[in-house]
Amino acid sequence: MAHVGIIATVGPVSRNPETLRALASAGMTVARLNGSHADLDWHRETIQLIRSVLPDLPILLDVPGRKIRTLQLAHEPRFSAGDRLTLTTDRSHDGRDKVPVNFDGLHEQLRPGVRVFADDGTLAFLVEEVDGRDIHVRALGDGQLRSRKGINVPDVKLGRDLVTSADEAMLAFAAETGVDYVGISFVESAAHVQAIRRLIRNGSPRIVAKVENQGGLDHLDEVIGASDVIMIDRGDLSVETELDRVSLFQKQIIAAAQARGKPVIVATELLHTMIENPYPTKAEISDITNAVLDGASLLMLSGETAVGRFPVEAVARLASVASVASEDVGRITRSPELPQVVRAVHALSRSGEVTGVIVLSRSGYAAGLVAAARPAAPVLAVHSDEGLARSLNLLPGVRAVHVPGFDWDASDPAEAAIAALVARGFLGEADVVLTVAASADESRTDLLTLRTRRLSPGLAIEPQAA
């Protein structure tokens, strides 16, 4: 059973039925689209393609949000250390003379001496002069500034609206096309998540909050509490904070999310060398292994599967390394900082008797807790809403089953769920299943019940007893 999910970004090299099927066979469990690239028509067609080829696969759409980027450039300038370039908020330019960026107010907030980074910190510049909308910078190293690359200014607090008009348009598009998750950049507060949630109807798409700057770290607990999933974008995080501390921040974020039963995605450069080469470096293998041992729920590939030469090989390698690392799960799930229900599910599912775990999760909270427990038995989550059921497939090790008309208010919803799963062939008469219900409300008691088809209503077990 896969205890770590694999997110693969779909791009030009993987946007075809054959490659999508191969990626899924290799281990892809979630498809990601980067809203900062291509236009909405391209994304709409890609979503339709994924739905037709892999209908049960969750789709994550990254919303550009407050992230500053270069625009699409007709000319992508190369430069050497000491060369002078001009960034501008005048969008009429195309890179030949000046490189335009998407934040109209950037020139108003910069001054000489401020450092500017680009492309996940691989390019660095120093502001020498600001003239109207033009920002004249000096390159601190050799490189090439490409289209749609991120711009970071860690020395300056850039005031930007929590939700922009572009965000609203992208969220409306996400609802229209039925994607399962939206990724929100530079989340620094619960208010930011709540502002996004107000624009989302019927609880879908769910929200992936990206922690990628000091503000996100400073308000980590409230961001985790307000979000459905957390993503550690190590590219921006390394530039916005301290590169030397990124691995420590990763451990901190994962531990905090685990304590709240929230899934965590680790992203950025997991197999960066496989964009051009068929084999990873030993350092990349070590990085992936440590991310899994830290407790990552999902690992994400970007350029490796969007534009790389070896997309299927990259997914297969990531899945293989993650599988090997997942064998050491006992240490992770015995942590006293984890919710009691997580430790109880882990222990009971490994008793040797349990053949399946059934999770009753109307909101997704209980399913997240069960996934964090990394149970030894298969996990089935029943849901009456087709879209919400599919979204639960993002959780590693969880198989969501859509049961139209499922009665959440039945006298015994767990027994109703078991009956529905037996009718659909997921369970047999002799199975011994652990049913789990949990609430984010600390005033309510989480309930675990052990059942067979011959034992009803079952043996109730308090989480503290495990």
pLDDT digits (tens, 9 = 90+) for 37-47: 889 999 999 99
Identity at 363, one-letter amino acid code: S
Average pLDDT (92-103) is: 93
CA distance readout (Å), 122 to 118, 125, 140, 143: 6, 10, 11, 8
CA distance 171 to 63: 8
Question: Beta strand 59-63 with 68-69: parallel, antiparallel or unpaired?
Answer: unpaired
| Cα 260 from Cα 433, distance rounded (Å) | 25
How do beta strands 150-152 and 30-34 pair?
Answer: unpaired
Domain at 418, CATH number = 3.40.1380.20
pLDDT at 379: 92
b/e string for 314-343 if b means 16 or more Cβ within 10 A? bbbbbbebbeebbeebeebbeeeebbebbb
Instruction: Answer yes or no: is 46 within a domain.
Output: yes
Give the number of domains in the chain: 3
Inside any domain, residue 84 = yes
Residue 200: predicted pLDDT? 87
CA distance 26 to 334: 30
Q: CATH number, domain at 174?
A: 3.20.20.60
Q: Tell me which residue of 1, 3, 15 sits closest to 305, measured CA to CA.
A: 15
Overall average pLDDT of the 379-403 stretch: 91
> Residue 194: which domain range?
5-66+162-326
pLDDT digits (tens, 9 = 90+) for 321-347: 999 998 775 555 556 667 778 888 888
Encode pLDDT of 177-220 as tens digits. Answer: 999 999 999 999 999 999 999 988 777 899 999 999 999 999 99
Euclidean distance between CA atoms 285 and 349, whole angstroms: 29
**CA torsion angle 271 220 178 64 (round to 10):** -70
Q: Do 57 and 77 sit in the same domain of this protein? A: no
Q: What percent of the chain has pLDDT over 70?
A: 91
Tell me, yes or no, whether 94 lies in a domain: yes
Q: Domain end: 326, 348, 367, which one?
A: 326
Judge whether 332 lies within some domain.
no
pLDDT for 459 beyond 60: no
One domain for residues 13 and 42 = yes
pLDDT bracket for residue 172 (50, 70, 90) = very high
Same domain, 43 and 96: no
With CA atoms as reference, report the closest residue to 181 among 224, 229, 236.
229
| Residue that terminates a domain, selected from 326, 361, 390 | 326
Residue where one domain finishes, among candidates 326, 354, 382: 326
Q: How many CB atoms lie within 10 A of CB 169?
A: 12
> pLDDT tens, 234-254?
999 999 899 999 999 999 999
> Do 421 and 305 reside in the same domain of the chain?
no
What is the rounded distance in angstroms from the CA atom of residue 106 to the CA atom of residue 87?
10
Nearest 5°: CA angle at 364, between 431 and 388? Answer: 95
Helices (H), ranges, 327-460 = 330-333, 340-349, 365-372, 386-391, 413-423
Strands (E) across 132-255 are located at 134-139, 143-144, 150-152, 181-184, 206-211, 229-233
